[in-house]
Amino acid sequence: MVAERGEPRARHAPPAPGLRDAAGGRLAYPVWVGAGALDRLGPVVAAAAPAHRYAIVTDETVAARHGARAAAALAPHVDAAPLIIAVPPGEAHKTRDTWARVTDELLAAGYGRDTTIVALGGGVVGDLAGFVAATYLRGVPVVQAPSTLLAMVDASVGGKTAVDTPAGKNLVGAFHPPAAVLVDPTLLGTLPPADLAAGAAEALKHGVIADARHFGDAAALLPALASGAAAGDPAVLDGLARVVADSVAIKAAVVAEDPREHGRRKTLNLGHTVGHAVELAAGYRIRHGEAVALGMVAECDIAERVGLAEPGTAARVRAACRAGGLPTALPAGITPDAVLAATRGDKKARGGRVEYALPARVGAMVEADGRWAVPVDDAVVLGVLAALRAPDAESAP
Ligand SMILES: NC(=O)c1ccc[n+]([C@@H]2O[C@H](COP(=O)([O-])OP(=O)(O)OC[C@H]3O[C@@H](n4cnc5c(N)ncnc54)[C@H](O)[C@@H]3O)[C@@H](O)[C@H]2O)c1
Ligand SMILES: [Zn+2]
């Protein structure tokens, strides 16, 4: 369960020196952040979600790089060796078919209700394994061990789990808060620069939503991430760890106030109404974080056009994305009409009009009478998208 507003703060004993709860006790579960955190997987799981049997759900890429380390960290603390289930990597596999495959493997191995699932991977694995955990025998605990920057700053925290369907992203899922989250920034040493930059887009988002200083920190780090300097440079890794902890704190504060997205949690959707539509229209050929960067630029443009955002807001976000190599134009061949049509299938559509969470400026979102999302006319959205066409799209039929 997530702590509701007004509940006493949760207290969690650190499983090792050097690890701190980046959620600051705002959530009912700890978010342990620190170099080497993955090596504490055993004690963390034993404290937060002790079970008879354990399964590590991951993808093939992450399994090859970090699977053995996770299993070794768990082994001394559990009776039987954990089952490792590795799915093919990528958003294309965040589906009901993969959910069924993982579930069937657990059933075939005789896993009962006294099972804990460890989700080791990026946001795709976190959402998928989380949804398996939410539904397996009506629900078993999940511990999130994110391995991408995107999953560390965003996807692993907050309890949303889901799979995609042909009609759109995340359309089948459940709220299933983790028993604990274990964030080890050293795992980012093997993550390709483009995935690091994509993850930073969600950190920028947290900055736009709530904290201009955090926006500046993430923007300052982006060029180094995109250039591949992160792997070897301890200063960059240090900066990353700080950005991760600050992003988690922002997200935890929002989620603690509104766990089920009736109000303020809608602000975390900044960039995602257009972003999800672009992902769907592009057949998931671009990274989620890249789509969010483009979506954020579009939605900041929308906010300025309807007079809700301070002039210059979109320019700041656009400049930060550009400096980090994140897209600020629609992918080639994707038309504004196709994106607009895809926004209508998103969960944010209400009464025939699509609602947007919009910024007032970098560091604050628009709120009117306790509502955090506003309906926007299609014509405004289409105008903004038309201005974001890829340069080569003009000649497309
Ligand atoms: N539940 C939420 O609140 C929430 C929030 C944001 C995003 N998401 C979801 O997260 C997903 C995107 O997550 P993502 O960007 O992490 O994508 P991803 O999980 O597909 O990971 C990106 C790629 O990096 C590889 N990888 C992962 N960790 C690695 C490592 N340490 N070293 C080398 N390679 C590694 C993966 O195999 C994959 O190919 C989307 O499906 C999105 O909807 C969910
Ligand atoms: Zn996202």
Helix, strand, or coil (residue 204): helix
Averaged pLDDT for residues 70-91: 93
Active site residue 288: yes
Among 272, 287, 318, 361, the one annotated catalytic? 272
| pTM for the structure as a whole | 0.94
| Residues 320 and 204: beta-carbon distance below 8 Å | yes
In the structure, what pLDDT confidence band is assigned to residue 351 with cuts at 50, 70 and 90? low
How buried is 221 (Cβ within 10 angstroms: 0-12 exposed, 13-18 middle, 19+ buried)? buried
- Of the chain, the end-to-end C-alpha distance in Å amounts to 51
| Residues 98 and 130: beta-carbon distance below 8 Å | no
Render 377-390 in DSSP notation, one character per residue: -HHHHHHHHHHT--
How confident is the model over 282-334, as pLDDT tens digits? 999 999 999 999 999 999 999 999 999 999 999 999 999 999 999 999 999 99
Taking the C-alpha atoms of residue 382 and residue 340, their distance in angstroms, rounded to an integer, is 7
Averaged pLDDT for residues 269-275: 97
Render 310-326 in DSSP notation, one character per residue: -TTHHHHHHHHHHHTT-
Ligand 1, atom 10, residue with closest C-alpha: 123
Measured in Å, residue 74 CA sits from the centre of ligand 2 at 29
Active site residue 251: yes
**Of ligand 1's atoms, which has the minimum distance to the CA of residue 187?**
31
| Residues 184 and 36: beta-carbon distance below 8 Å | yes
Among 91, 269, 290, 304, the one annotated catalytic? 269
Taking the C-alpha atoms of residue 1 and residue 198, their distance in angstroms, rounded to an integer, is 30
Active site residue 138: yes
How confident is the model over 92-107, as pLDDT tens digits? 999 999 999 999 999 9
Angle of the 378-387 helix axis to the 288-305 helix axis, nearest 10: 120
Task: Give the strand order in the sheet containing 31-33.
Answer: 20-21, 31-33, 180-183, 142-146, 115-121, 53-59, 83-87
| Residues 180 and 23: beta-carbon distance below 8 Å | no
In the structure, what pLDDT confidence band is assigned to residue 347 with cuts at 50, 70 and 90? low
Taking the C-alpha atoms of residue 290 and residue 137, their distance in angstroms, rounded to an integer, is 36
User: Which pairs count as long-range contacts for 371-378, CB under 8 Å and 24+ apart, including other chains?
Assistant: 371/263, 372/263, 372/264, 372/265, 372/266, 372/267, 373/266, 373/269, 373/348, 374/306, 374/308, 375/350, 375/351, 376/302, 376/306, 377/353, 378/340, 378/354
Pocket of ligand 1 (CB under 6 A): 59, 61-62, 65, 89-91, 94, 121-125, 127, 147-148, 150-151, 154-155, 158, 160, 169-170, 187, 190-191, 195, 198, 287-289
How confident is the model over 134-146, as pLDDT tens digits? 999 999 999 999 9
State yes or no: pLDDT of 395 exceeds 80. no
Measured in Å, residue 77 CA sits from the centre of ligand 1 at 28
The set of residues, in sequence order, having a beta carbon less than 8 Å from that of 389 and lying 6+ positions away, is 329, 330, 335, 336
Does residue 233 or residue 195 have the better pLDDT?
Answer: 195
The set of residues, in sequence order, having a beta carbon less than 8 Å from that of 224 and lying 6+ positions away, is 230, 233, 236, 239
